Amino acid sequence: MKQFLVIGLGNFGSSIAKALYDRGCQVLAIDTDKEKIQDIKDFVSQSMILDVRDKDAVKSLPIQDTDTAVISLGDQMEATILATLFLKEMGLSKIMVKAMNEDHAKILKIMGASEVIFPEQQMALRIADRLAHPNILDLVSLAEGFSMAELLPLEVFYGKSLIELEIRKKYSLEIVAVKHTLTDENGNKTEKLKSIPLSTYVIERGDILVVVGEDKCIEKYRSL
């Protein structure tokens, strides 16, 4: 079972902590605010009032089995930097930190953060992509210049098999799954996921293609 340390229980931190716990992970949630600790105690494995600027207090944390620490302390720049430094010194290799700005991010990287995130900015970009490109339902960056995307099939795809469409050859995109939404007589929708579909799979109305490929290839598909 994976174990996580979540420091800072604002909107982002508390959402991450609850989501990880809901997915069967062990979660230790930390904040200096008693009310936030009280609010989350029933939704995580353990919660604790602790000031991460106190090096001795941080050293007392049971991180020997922790997989990843998530630090989200809002505008508390000093606390964010110190927490990152202390955890790095304790030997924790995976430290994900929410940064305030680019300069803050650079400092966090120097202090030992393995990943720096800008949740609001990243969400804004994803929403902008969806609004600007209606046939791209979602886009997740996997590495520089390489993403996973949910695409609506082109009109010419319907009724044809994957082997007929030659999507890999023509569009340089690899289909890793197909989502299909079914609606019953009461209007209730259920979604089925078919991973690594066979080449004989025929594209139907309601299908969503989950593909992996270079960003330039996804963009080229979008323009069709």
Domain boundaries, the chain: 3-117, 122-222
Tokens of 16: 């991450």
Residue 148 is predicted with a pLDDT of: 84
Which band of pLDDT confidence, cut at 50, 70 and 90, is reported for residue 128? low
What is the number of other CB atoms lying within 10 angstroms of the CB of residue 38? Answer: 11
Largest CA distance in the chain: 65
The reply to whether the predicted model has a pTM over 0.85 is no
Q: How far is it, in rounded angstroms, from Cα 89 to Cα 214?
A: 37
Q: What is the pLDDT of residue 129?
A: 58
Query: Which homologous superfamily does the CATH classification assign to the domain defined by 122-222?
Result: Regulator of K+ conductance, C-terminal domain (3.30.70.1450)
* CA gap 178, 80 in Å, rounded: 41
Q: Which residues pair with 139 in a beta bridge?
A: 149
Per-residue confidence (pLDDT) for residue 105, from 0 to 100: 86
Measured between alpha carbons, how far is 24 from 10 in angstroms, rounded to an integer? 21
- Residues 109, 80: Cα–Cα separation, whole Å: 12
pLDDT reported for residue 31:
96
**Architecture label for domain 3-117:** 3-Layer(aba) Sandwich (3.40)
Model confidence at 99, pLDDT cuts 50, 70, 90, reads confident
Q: Looking at residue 206, what is its pLDDT?
A: 84
Strands 3-7 and 68-71, by their bridges, are: parallel
Give residue-wise pLDDT tens across range 179-191.
Answer: 887 777 776 767 7
Closest residue by Cα to residue 159 from 201, 193, 124: 201
Q: Would you say residue 11 has pLDDT above 80?
A: yes
Reported confidence tier of residue 102, pLDDT bands at 50, 70, 90: confident
Q: Mean pLDDT highest for which of 70-74, 144-148, 188-192?
A: 70-74
Q: Starting from the edge strand earliest in sequence, which strands make up the sheet with 95-98, in order?
A: 46-49, 26-31, 3-7, 68-71, 95-98, 115-117
What residue ranges in the chain does DSSP mark as E strands? 3-7, 26-31, 46-49, 68-71, 95-98, 115-117, 136-143, 146-151, 174-183, 189-195, 207-214
Q: What is the mean pLDDT of residues 90-94?
A: 91
